[in-house]
Amino acid sequence: MTTNKTIGSLLIERLHGLGLRHIFGVPGDYVLTLCQLIEESPIKYVGMTREDCAGFAADAYARIRGIGGICVTYCVGGLNVVNAVACAYAERSPVVLLTGSPGLAERVRNPYLHHMVRDFSTQKEVFEKVTVASAVLDDPLTASREIDRALAALMRYKRPIYLEIPRDLVHAPIKPSAGALPEEKSDPAALAEAVAEVREMLAAAHTPVLLVGAEVHRFHLQDNVSRLAERINIPVASTLLGKSVIREDHPLFVGVYGGLIGRDEVQQFVNEADCLLMLGSILTDIEDLGAHSPLLAEGRAIHATADAITVKHHRYDGVRFEDFVRALVAAPMQPFQSRPLPTPRSVTPEILARTEPATLRGLFSHLESLLDAKMLVVADIGEALFAGADLRVHKSAEFISPAYYTSMGFAVPASVGVGFAGHSLRPIVLVGDGAFQMTGTELSTCLRYSQAPVVIILNNRGYSTEREILDGPFNDVHEWRYEKICDLLGGGIGHRVSTHGEVVRALDEAVADKKQMHVLNVLLNPADRSPAMVRLARRLAKRLSPSKR
| C-beta atoms surrounding 2 within 10 Å | 5
Q: What is the mean pLDDT of the chain?
A: 89
Alpha-carbon distance values, 31 to 34, 151, 174, 342, 459 (Å): 5, 20, 19, 54, 38
- Asked if pLDDT for residue 425 goes beyond 90, the answer is no
Closest CA to 96 of 153, 48, 42: 153
DSSP state, 396? T
pLDDT of residue 518: 98
Pick the range with the lowest mean pLDDT from 169-173, 342-346, 512-516, 538-542: 538-542
Confidence of residue 294 (pLDDT cuts 50, 70, 90): low
Q: Which residues contact 147 (CB under 8 A, 6 or more apart)?
A: 10, 11, 14, 135, 137, 163
Mean pLDDT value across residues 254-274:
85
Question: Averaged over 439-461, what is the pLDDT?
Answer: 96
What pLDDT is recorded for position 154? 96
CA nearest neighbour of 538 among 469, 464, 451, 441: 469
- The CATH number that domain 188-330 falls under is 3.40.50.1220
- Three-state SS for 489? helix
Radius of gyration of the chain (CA): 24
Supply the pLDDT for residue 2. Answer: 45
Angstrom distance (rounded) from CA 397 to CA 60: 11
Helices 51-65 and 411-421, interaxial angle, to 10°?
A: 50
Residue closest to 429 by CA, chosen among 450, 456, 448, 397? 456
Rounded mean pLDDT of 374-400? 84
Cα–Cα distance, 459 to 482 (Å, whole number): 9
Q: Confidence band (pLDDT; 50, 70, 90) for 69?
A: very high
Ramachandran quadrant class, 369 (left: phi over 0; alpha: psi -120 to 50; beta: rest)? alpha
- Cβ proximity of 283 and 172 under 8 Å: no
> What gap in Å lies between CA 160 and CA 360, rounded to an integer?
35
Please tell me which of 128-132, 283-287, 368-372, 542-546 the model is most confident about, judged by mean pLDDT: 128-132
- Return the bridge partners of 493, or none: 518
As a whole number of angstroms, the distance between CA 369 and CA 90 comes to: 33
- Among the four given CATH numbers 3.40.50.970, 3.30.1180.20, 3.90.190.20, 3.40.50.1100, the one describing domain 5-174: 3.40.50.970
More confident call, 138 vs 178: 138
Positive or negative torsion for Cα 138, 142, 147, 149:
negative
In percent, the amount of the chain with pLDDT more than 70 equals: 92
Q: Torsions phi, psi of 499, nearest 5?
A: -125, 165
Average pLDDT over residues 518-533: 92
pTM above 0.85, yes or no: yes
How much is the average pLDDT of 183-189?
Answer: 87
**293: phi then psi, degrees, rounded to nearest 5:** -65, 135
Distance, in Å, from the CA atom of 150 to the CA atom of 84, rounded to the nearest integer, reads 19
Who wins on pLDDT, 150 or 296?
150
Q: How far apart are the first and last CA of the chain?
A: 65
In the predicted structure, residue 396 carries a pLDDT above the cut 80: no
- Burial group, residue 40, by CB count within 10 angstroms (0-12, 13-18, 19+): exposed
The answer on pLDDT for 334 being more than 50 is yes
pLDDT category at 313 given cuts 50, 70, 90 is confident
Dist. CA 215–CA 318, nearest whole Å: 18
Domains 5-174 and 188-330 share a fold: yes
Mean pLDDT value of segment 21-49: 95
> In the prediction, which pLDDT does 310 show?
93
Residue 180 has pLDDT above 60, yes or no: no
DSSP string, 303-370: EE-SS-EEETTEEETT--HHHHHHHHHHS--PPPPP---PPPPP-PPP---TTSBP-HHHHHHHHHHH
pLDDT at 1: 39
Show me where the domains of the chain are located. Answer: 5-174, 188-330, 360-536
Average pLDDT over residues 74-79: 90
CB-based contact 157:184 (threshold 8 Å): no
- Read off the pLDDT of each residue in 407-434 and give the average, rounded to a whole number: 93
pLDDT of residue 283: 74
pLDDT surpasses 50 at 332: yes
Considering only 115-129, 290-304, 355-369, which range has the smallest mean pLDDT?
A: 290-304
pLDDT for residue 486 is more than 90? yes
Query: Which range, of 43-47, 248-252, 496-500, averages the lowest pLDDT?
Result: 248-252
**pLDDT interval class at 80 (50, 70, 90):** very high
* Residues 494-517: tens digit of each pLDDT: 999 999 999 999 999 999 999 999
pLDDT score recorded for residue 246: 85
- CA 352 from centroid of its chain's CA atoms: 34
At residue 352, does pLDDT exceed 60?
A: yes
- Categorize the per-residue pLDDT at 549 as very low, low, confident or very high, splitting at 50, 70 and 90: very low
Buried b (16+ CB within 10 A) or exposed e, 41-60: bebebbebbbbbbbbbbbbb
Flag whether pLDDT at 360 surpasses 50: yes
* Residue 350 scores a pLDDT above 80: no
Q: Report the pLDDT value the prediction gives residue 411, as an integer from 0 to 100.
A: 97
**Domain 360-536 in CATH 3.40.50.1820:** no
